[in-house]
Amino acid sequence: MSKKNSSNTLNRREFLTRASATGLALPFAGTLLSNAAHAADPAKGGLLKAGLQGGESTNSLDPATFSSQVPYTFGRCWGDTLVEVSATGELTPRLAETVESADGGKKWVFGIRKGVTFHNGKELDVNDVVATLQRHSGEETKSGALGIMRGIESVSADGDNLVVSLADANADLPYLLADYHLIIQPNGGTEAPDAGIGTGPYKVSVNEPGVRHGGEKFADYWDDGRGHADQVEIIVINDSTARTAALQSGQVHMINRVEPKIVDLVKRVPGVTIQNASGRGHYVFIMHCDTDPFSNNDLRLALKYAMNREEMVEKILRGYGSVGNDFPINGSYPLFSDDIEQRAFDPDKAKFHFKKSGHSGPVMLRTSDAAFPGAVDAAQLFQQSCKTAGIELEVKREPADGYWSEVWNKQPFCTSYWGGRPVQDQMYSTAYLSTADWNDTRFLREDFDKMVLAARAELDNDKRKQMYRDMAVLVRDEGGLILPMFNDFIDATGSKVAGYEPDPNGDMMNGFALTKTWLA
């Protein structure tokens, strides 16, 4: 089979409307879709380098473990998923070429692409896809995709097709399978999940966790529209000043996580372009609802009312973001409810709930530069606003290396970030379902779980919107999430980079910058 750049897309609203009709086939090619045109013919060759924050010595090439920028960006280089979500929110085919819904959205059939080869020479077949999804949903898995996989009753092969059967209908299921953990691996990665063998444009050539990662162009890659450089390299540079210096000196061609407070300075560097996109990303302070003293909702409310959100956006984001409201959804989501009262800084209410909680003494908050740009400064601002409310907040600065393996999702109160997800179901299923391994606030609520499942099965958008509103209010008022701000993704590129298109789904073009851009 000849290589073909498959850039057809399907608008999400159109997709959901058609998917609600039982048994409707939804091919990614043909009259239902439009072709995306390249603005320019990419140049080929060279070594394309990125200097990225978000790498640790504990990182693994097992996609199930990806939890920060470096692993998932490198994963985009060596692996493919069944589908992707474009920068405009459209579903894009990758290793699946077609999808059909049946049984009112409880059954989905994916036609697997032919002529695709893994880096080890094995030809992709549907059994590799089945094994991959089974590995990420097994009883012993610790996959970051576990939350979205819990709604899947079974996965099986029917000829060359993947069949996904759900316990409850879910019109968003194809979007969920775009999750970056679900890289298709030979035999699902069951023998060697961390081998870094996929179907992506680059073969792993260097893997030095916390230091650098490299890939060489895979000659048999199936998509001519990606992988323009001969080689790609990620250099782990967790320090913001060092990252900026590496870009300015030409050591790297692009960097992520430019701190808002230095954006204006970076803009003045000759040949450097700031690439920013607003979307669903958010910076957070997360409390474990099942761990004292945060098991007390009055203490959680006290800390929420002690957060000065406007000050956070002004001083930390410098205009590159917007105020949050303690639930992980904003206007970027099509079923967002804009009538939920905005929580404001209220020292008196904070004092009331703190006294009612019965807690005495300091509250420990852990933070690090690794959490998000300006996280340490944000923690100190929070410390000051808590003091105004009579709450003693003790801030402990943790090392960047090991933050995601030793602090996040383990310590009961820390700073963190989320890139958001394409649809509300995926965001809630990944981080708020009781069964989700990444439920980092330990929000373990049976009533909430039932709401998530009911919203998945509801095909009436007005009813579904109300369900999501109810879920948002529950998380806001009883959850362990303090969400003061939604952030822009701010990257920067050097003069030699062409084809860069900011993506509201995540920084570094949602992780695809090294595979989609080229050296001019």
Average pLDDT over residues 183-194: 97
pLDDT of residue 40: 67
Q: Is the pLDDT of residue 459 over 90?
A: no
Q: Is the pLDDT of residue 299 over 60?
A: yes
Q: Which residues, other chains included, contact 427 with Cβ-Cβ below 8 Å and sequence gap of 6+?
A: 280, 328, 329, 418, 420, 421
Q: Dihedrals φ, ψ of 323, to 5°?
A: -70, 140
Coil, helix or strand at residue 159: coil
HSE, CB side, 13 Å, CA atoms: give it for residue 221: 26
Closest to 269 measured CA to CA, from 283, 280, 258, 279: 258
**Helix, strand and coil in the chain, % to nearest 5:** 30, 25, 45
pLDDT band, residue 478 (cuts 50/70/90): very high
Where b means 16+ CB within 10 Å and e means fewer, 183-214 reads: bbbbebbeeebebbbbbbbbbbeebebbebbb
20 pLDDT above the threshold of 50: no
CATH level 2 (architecture), domain 1-36+80-192: 3-Layer(aba) Sandwich (3.40)
pLDDT value at position 22? 34
The two tokens of residue 426 are 């995926």
Average pLDDT score, the chain: 91
- Largest alpha-carbon pair distance within the chain? 70
The pLDDT-based confidence of 456 (bands split at 50, 70, 90) is confident
Residue 17: pLDDT band by 50, 70, 90 thresholds? very low
Contacts of 329 (CB under 8 A, 6+ apart): 280, 336, 424, 427, 468, 472
Residue 495, token pair as written in the block: 């003069």
pLDDT of res. 24 = 38
Range 406-411 average pLDDT: 96
Measured between alpha carbons, how far is 3 from 115 in angstroms, rounded to an integer?
Answer: 8
pLDDT digits (tens, 9 = 90+) for 370-405: 999 999 999 999 999 999 999 999 999 999 999 999
Q: What is the pLDDT of residues 499-517, one digit of tens each?
A: 999 999 999 999 999 999 9
In this predicted model, which residue has the larger pLDDT, 345 or 459? 345
**What whole-number distance in Å separates Cα of residue 489 and Cα of residue 166?**
34
Is CATH 3.10.105.10 what the domain over 279-488 is classified as, yes or no?
Answer: yes
CATH code of the domain occupying 38-79+200-272+494-520:
3.40.190.10
Reading the block at residue 425, the tokens are 């179901």
Whose structure tokens read 């048999």?
Answer: 220
The model's confidence at residue 246, banded by pLDDT at 50, 70 and 90, is very high
Find out whether 54 and 159 touch, Cβ atoms under 8 Å. Answer: no
Two tokens at 229? 């450089």
CATH 3.10.105.10 boundaries in the chain: 279-488
Q: Say how far apart CA 206 and CA 62 lie, in whole Å.
A: 15
Long-range Cβ contacts of 237-246 (<8 Å, 24+ apart):
237/51, 237/52, 237/53, 238/53, 238/54, 238/55, 238/369, 238/370, 238/400, 238/401, 239/369, 240/53, 240/369, 240/373, 243/51, 243/52, 243/53, 244/492, 246/51
Domain with CATH 3.40.190.10 in the chain: 1-36+80-192, 38-79+200-272+494-520
Strand blocks (E) in 77-149: 83-85, 91-93, 96-102, 107-112
Segment 73-122, tens digit of pLDDT: 999 999 999 999 999 888 999 999 999 998 888 999 999 999 999 999 99
